Amino acid sequence: MKYTLLLIALIFSCMSAFSQSVDKSVYDNVYTFRTSETLLKCSGNGVAILGSDTDIPADVEFSVTKILDDGSLVIQFIEWRISDSDVKVQNTALNKSLVSTATDNSGKPGKKDIFFKLSLKEFNNDCEKEVNAHSFTLGALVLPIKLRFGGNTSNPAHHRDFTFANDISIGLSAGYKYSPNKKYSHNILTGIALTSVSVTPTNTNKTVTTESNLAAITWHFGYLFQIDNFQIGAFTGIDYLAGEVGRNWDYKNKPWFGIGLGYSIFKSKSSSDKQ
Protein backbone atom coordinates (compact mmCIF):
# COMPACT_ATOMS: atom_id res chain seq x y z
CA MET A 1 0.00 0.00 0.00
CA LYS A 2 2.81 2.39 0.91
CA TYR A 3 4.56 1.81 -2.42
CA THR A 4 1.30 2.29 -4.31
CA LEU A 5 0.74 5.66 -2.65
CA LEU A 6 4.31 6.69 -3.42
CA LEU A 7 3.84 5.70 -7.05
CA ILE A 8 0.60 7.69 -7.29
CA ALA A 9 2.28 10.71 -5.70
CA LEU A 10 5.17 10.44 -8.17
CA ILE A 11 2.79 10.27 -11.12
CA PHE A 12 0.88 13.34 -9.95
CA SER A 13 4.14 15.17 -9.36
CA CYS A 14 5.35 14.41 -12.88
CA MET A 15 1.99 15.44 -14.36
CA SER A 16 2.08 18.69 -12.41
CA ALA A 17 5.62 19.46 -13.55
CA PHE A 18 4.70 18.68 -17.15
CA SER A 19 1.57 20.83 -17.04
CA GLN A 20 3.56 23.78 -15.75
CA SER A 21 6.32 23.58 -18.34
CA VAL A 22 6.59 26.54 -20.69
CA ASP A 23 8.16 26.53 -24.12
CA LYS A 24 11.27 28.74 -24.08
CA SER A 25 10.21 30.16 -27.47
CA VAL A 26 7.88 32.53 -25.56
CA TYR A 27 10.91 34.81 -25.14
CA ASP A 28 11.02 35.39 -28.90
CA ASN A 29 7.38 36.38 -29.40
CA VAL A 30 5.04 39.27 -28.68
CA TYR A 31 1.61 38.60 -27.13
CA THR A 32 -1.65 40.40 -26.42
CA PHE A 33 -4.62 39.83 -24.11
CA ARG A 34 -7.90 38.81 -25.75
CA THR A 35 -9.89 40.48 -22.95
CA SER A 36 -9.12 42.94 -20.19
CA GLU A 37 -7.31 41.55 -17.13
CA THR A 38 -6.19 42.63 -13.66
CA LEU A 39 -2.55 41.87 -12.80
CA LEU A 40 -0.18 42.53 -9.93
CA LYS A 41 3.01 44.44 -10.48
CA CYS A 42 6.15 42.58 -9.48
CA SER A 43 9.93 42.80 -9.45
CA GLY A 44 12.01 41.56 -12.35
CA ASN A 45 12.43 38.29 -10.44
CA GLY A 46 8.68 37.78 -10.06
CA VAL A 47 8.17 38.91 -6.46
CA ALA A 48 4.63 40.31 -6.38
CA ILE A 49 4.04 43.84 -5.08
CA LEU A 50 0.91 43.60 -2.91
CA GLY A 51 -1.74 46.22 -3.44
CA SER A 52 -0.53 47.05 -6.94
CA ASP A 53 -3.53 45.66 -8.83
CA THR A 54 -3.57 47.16 -12.33
CA ASP A 55 -6.31 46.92 -14.95
CA ILE A 56 -4.88 45.78 -18.29
CA PRO A 57 -6.96 46.52 -21.41
CA ALA A 58 -7.25 44.04 -24.27
CA ASP A 59 -4.86 44.15 -27.23
CA VAL A 60 -1.93 45.78 -25.38
CA GLU A 61 1.29 44.10 -26.50
CA PHE A 62 3.68 42.48 -24.03
CA SER A 63 6.76 40.28 -24.00
CA VAL A 64 7.88 37.60 -21.53
CA THR A 65 11.04 38.45 -19.58
CA LYS A 66 11.23 35.50 -17.14
CA ILE A 67 9.71 32.05 -16.59
CA LEU A 68 9.35 31.30 -12.87
CA ASP A 69 9.76 27.89 -11.24
CA ASP A 70 6.00 27.48 -10.75
CA GLY A 71 5.37 28.08 -14.47
CA SER A 72 4.05 31.64 -14.08
CA LEU A 73 5.56 34.41 -16.16
CA VAL A 74 7.06 37.82 -15.61
CA ILE A 75 5.94 40.10 -18.43
CA GLN A 76 6.68 43.61 -19.60
CA PHE A 77 4.39 45.71 -21.75
CA ILE A 78 5.56 47.32 -24.97
CA GLU A 79 5.13 51.06 -25.42
CA TRP A 80 2.05 52.01 -27.38
CA ARG A 81 2.52 54.01 -30.56
CA ILE A 82 0.91 57.44 -30.21
CA SER A 83 -0.13 58.47 -33.72
CA ASP A 84 -3.91 58.95 -33.70
CA SER A 85 -4.78 62.22 -31.98
CA ASP A 86 -8.15 60.81 -30.83
CA VAL A 87 -6.49 58.19 -28.66
CA LYS A 88 -3.34 60.11 -27.76
CA VAL A 89 -4.49 60.91 -24.22
CA GLN A 90 -5.59 57.31 -23.60
CA ASN A 91 -2.34 55.87 -24.95
CA THR A 92 -0.24 58.33 -22.95
CA ALA A 93 -2.00 57.23 -19.76
CA LEU A 94 -1.45 53.57 -20.61
CA ASN A 95 2.24 54.12 -21.31
CA LYS A 96 2.59 55.91 -17.99
CA SER A 97 0.92 53.13 -15.99
CA LEU A 98 2.09 50.04 -17.89
CA VAL A 99 5.41 51.04 -19.46
CA SER A 100 6.20 54.44 -18.03
CA THR A 101 9.17 56.69 -18.51
CA ALA A 102 10.92 58.40 -15.61
CA THR A 103 13.66 60.91 -15.07
CA ASP A 104 16.84 59.46 -13.62
CA ASN A 105 19.09 61.19 -11.05
CA SER A 106 20.96 63.08 -13.74
CA GLY A 107 17.76 64.82 -14.80
CA LYS A 108 17.77 63.09 -18.20
CA PRO A 109 14.77 61.04 -19.40
CA GLY A 110 15.22 57.37 -18.65
CA LYS A 111 13.24 54.15 -18.92
CA LYS A 112 11.62 52.82 -15.76
CA ASP A 113 11.16 49.07 -15.81
CA ILE A 114 7.69 47.92 -14.79
CA PHE A 115 6.97 44.18 -14.57
CA PHE A 116 3.76 42.21 -14.04
CA LYS A 117 3.18 38.65 -12.89
CA LEU A 118 1.01 36.45 -15.11
CA SER A 119 -0.13 32.94 -14.20
CA LEU A 120 0.36 30.14 -16.71
CA LYS A 121 -3.40 29.49 -16.76
CA GLU A 122 -4.14 33.11 -17.69
CA PHE A 123 -1.40 33.03 -20.31
CA ASN A 124 -2.77 29.88 -21.95
CA ASN A 125 -6.44 30.88 -21.78
CA ASP A 126 -6.46 34.64 -22.27
CA CYS A 127 -3.41 35.51 -24.40
CA GLU A 128 -2.50 35.05 -28.03
CA LYS A 129 0.65 35.49 -30.04
CA GLU A 130 0.86 38.47 -32.33
CA VAL A 131 0.92 37.37 -35.95
CA ASN A 132 3.74 38.65 -38.11
CA ALA A 133 2.20 40.60 -40.99
CA HIS A 134 4.73 39.13 -43.43
CA SER A 135 5.62 35.47 -43.10
CA PHE A 136 6.49 32.24 -44.89
CA THR A 137 3.79 29.57 -45.06
CA LEU A 138 4.11 25.86 -45.72
CA GLY A 139 1.47 23.16 -45.92
CA ALA A 140 -0.34 20.44 -47.82
CA LEU A 141 -2.69 21.34 -50.65
CA VAL A 142 -5.55 19.20 -51.97
CA LEU A 143 -7.39 20.22 -55.15
CA PRO A 144 -10.44 18.02 -55.76
CA ILE A 145 -11.63 19.49 -59.08
CA LYS A 146 -9.83 20.96 -62.12
CA LEU A 147 -11.18 22.67 -65.20
CA ARG A 148 -9.38 21.82 -68.45
CA PHE A 149 -9.98 24.11 -71.38
CA GLY A 150 -10.86 23.09 -74.93
CA GLY A 151 -9.15 24.17 -78.15
CA ASN A 152 -7.53 23.04 -81.35
CA THR A 153 -4.91 20.29 -81.54
CA SER A 154 -2.20 19.46 -84.07
CA ASN A 155 -4.73 17.18 -85.77
CA PRO A 156 -7.23 19.36 -87.72
CA ALA A 157 -9.80 16.57 -87.50
CA HIS A 158 -9.67 16.45 -83.70
CA HIS A 159 -10.75 19.08 -81.15
CA ARG A 160 -9.69 19.19 -77.50
CA ASP A 161 -12.75 19.17 -75.23
CA PHE A 162 -13.47 21.37 -72.22
CA THR A 163 -13.75 19.12 -69.16
CA PHE A 164 -14.47 19.16 -65.45
CA ALA A 165 -11.78 16.78 -64.24
CA ASN A 166 -11.91 15.09 -60.85
CA ASP A 167 -8.13 14.54 -60.84
CA ILE A 168 -7.36 14.89 -57.13
CA SER A 169 -3.95 16.49 -56.50
CA ILE A 170 -2.17 16.10 -53.17
CA GLY A 171 1.15 17.81 -52.60
CA LEU A 172 3.28 20.39 -50.89
CA SER A 173 2.78 24.15 -51.13
CA ALA A 174 4.91 27.01 -49.90
CA GLY A 175 4.74 30.74 -50.31
CA TYR A 176 4.27 34.22 -48.92
CA LYS A 177 1.61 35.09 -46.35
CA TYR A 178 0.41 38.62 -45.63
CA SER A 179 -1.75 39.11 -42.52
CA PRO A 180 -2.87 42.74 -42.11
CA ASN A 181 -4.73 41.68 -38.95
CA LYS A 182 -5.74 38.58 -36.99
CA LYS A 183 -9.02 38.15 -38.88
CA TYR A 184 -7.83 37.53 -42.43
CA SER A 185 -4.75 36.87 -44.55
CA HIS A 186 -3.62 36.63 -48.17
CA ASN A 187 -1.39 33.78 -49.40
CA ILE A 188 0.55 33.43 -52.65
CA LEU A 189 1.45 29.75 -53.01
CA THR A 190 3.33 27.47 -55.35
CA GLY A 191 4.44 23.86 -55.24
CA ILE A 192 4.32 20.40 -56.74
CA ALA A 193 1.97 17.49 -56.19
CA LEU A 194 1.08 13.99 -57.28
CA THR A 195 -2.15 13.60 -59.20
CA SER A 196 -4.22 10.99 -61.00
CA VAL A 197 -5.09 11.89 -64.60
CA SER A 198 -7.89 10.35 -66.65
CA VAL A 199 -6.72 9.23 -70.12
CA THR A 200 -8.90 7.88 -72.92
CA PRO A 201 -8.34 6.77 -76.52
CA THR A 202 -9.89 10.07 -77.62
CA ASN A 203 -7.63 12.42 -75.65
CA THR A 204 -4.42 10.45 -76.32
CA ASN A 205 -4.68 10.02 -80.09
CA LYS A 206 -5.55 6.34 -79.48
CA THR A 207 -2.28 5.73 -77.59
CA VAL A 208 -4.35 3.85 -74.99
CA THR A 209 -7.13 1.48 -75.95
CA THR A 210 -9.29 1.83 -72.84
CA GLU A 211 -10.08 4.62 -70.40
CA SER A 212 -7.87 4.57 -67.28
CA ASN A 213 -6.18 6.76 -64.68
CA LEU A 214 -2.43 7.37 -64.73
CA ALA A 215 -0.16 8.98 -62.15
CA ALA A 216 1.27 12.37 -63.04
CA ILE A 217 3.23 15.22 -61.49
CA THR A 218 1.54 18.60 -61.35
CA TRP A 219 2.93 22.08 -60.72
CA HIS A 220 0.58 24.65 -59.25
CA PHE A 221 0.49 28.35 -58.47
CA GLY A 222 -2.30 30.34 -56.90
CA TYR A 223 -3.86 32.65 -54.38
CA LEU A 224 -5.52 31.69 -51.09
CA PHE A 225 -7.69 34.02 -49.02
CA GLN A 226 -8.44 33.27 -45.36
CA ILE A 227 -11.00 34.91 -43.10
CA ASP A 228 -11.07 33.50 -39.58
CA ASN A 229 -10.81 29.74 -40.21
CA PHE A 230 -12.54 29.65 -43.61
CA GLN A 231 -10.40 29.68 -46.73
CA ILE A 232 -10.95 29.81 -50.47
CA GLY A 233 -8.32 29.66 -53.17
CA ALA A 234 -7.90 29.82 -56.93
CA PHE A 235 -5.06 27.88 -58.55
CA THR A 236 -3.63 27.09 -61.94
CA GLY A 237 -0.98 24.63 -63.05
CA ILE A 238 0.18 22.06 -65.57
CA ASP A 239 0.09 18.26 -65.32
CA TYR A 240 2.99 16.20 -66.67
CA LEU A 241 2.40 12.63 -67.90
CA ALA A 242 5.38 10.42 -68.72
CA GLY A 243 6.10 8.36 -71.81
CA GLU A 244 4.26 8.06 -75.11
CA VAL A 245 0.90 8.71 -73.46
CA GLY A 246 2.14 12.06 -72.18
CA ARG A 247 3.52 13.02 -75.59
CA ASN A 248 0.14 12.37 -77.26
CA TRP A 249 -2.14 13.66 -74.50
CA ASP A 250 -4.43 16.49 -75.64
CA TYR A 251 -3.72 18.55 -72.50
CA LYS A 252 0.08 18.32 -72.69
CA ASN A 253 1.55 21.65 -71.48
CA LYS A 254 -1.98 23.09 -71.20
CA PRO A 255 -2.83 24.87 -67.94
CA TRP A 256 -5.77 23.85 -65.80
CA PHE A 257 -7.78 25.98 -63.36
CA GLY A 258 -8.91 24.81 -59.92
CA ILE A 259 -10.84 26.23 -56.96
CA GLY A 260 -10.30 25.03 -53.42
CA LEU A 261 -12.59 25.50 -50.43
CA GLY A 262 -11.61 24.54 -46.95
CA TYR A 263 -11.59 25.06 -43.20
CA SER A 264 -8.24 25.71 -41.53
CA ILE A 265 -6.22 24.98 -44.65
CA PHE A 266 -3.10 26.97 -43.87
CA LYS A 267 -2.47 28.30 -40.35
CA SER A 268 0.60 30.06 -39.10
CA LYS A 269 0.84 27.75 -36.07
CA SER A 270 1.39 24.59 -38.07
CA SER A 271 3.43 23.43 -41.00
CA SER A 272 1.13 20.53 -41.86
CA ASP A 273 -2.24 22.17 -42.40
CA LYS A 274 -4.43 20.96 -45.19
CA GLN A 275 -6.90 22.23 -47.71
pLDDT of residue 12: 41
125-170 confidence digits (pLDDT tens): 999 887 778 888 888 777 888 899 998 887 888 889 899 887 777 7
Domain boundaries, the chain: 21-129, 134-263
Query: What is the three-class DSSP state of 161?
Result: coil
Strands 101-103 and 109-111: antiparallel
| Cα 253 to Cα 220: distance, rounded to the nearest angstrom | 13
Tell me the pLDDT tens digit for each residue of 77-109: 887 655 555 555 566 777 777 886 655 555 454
Residue 167: which of 252, 267, 94, 258 has the closest Cα?
A: 258
- Whole-angstrom CA distances from 12 to 4, 22, 120, 206 are 12, 18, 18, 70
Name the pTM for this structure.
Answer: 0.58
For 244, list phi and psi in degrees, rounded to 5. Answer: -65, -35
Question: What confidence tier does 230 reach under pLDDT thresholds 50, 70, 90?
Answer: confident
Report the distance separating Cα 258 and Cα 34, nearest Å. 37
Per-residue pLDDT of 109-124, as tens digits, reads 455 688 999 999 999 9
- For the chain, how many residues are written? 275
Q: Does the pLDDT at position 13 exceed 90?
A: no
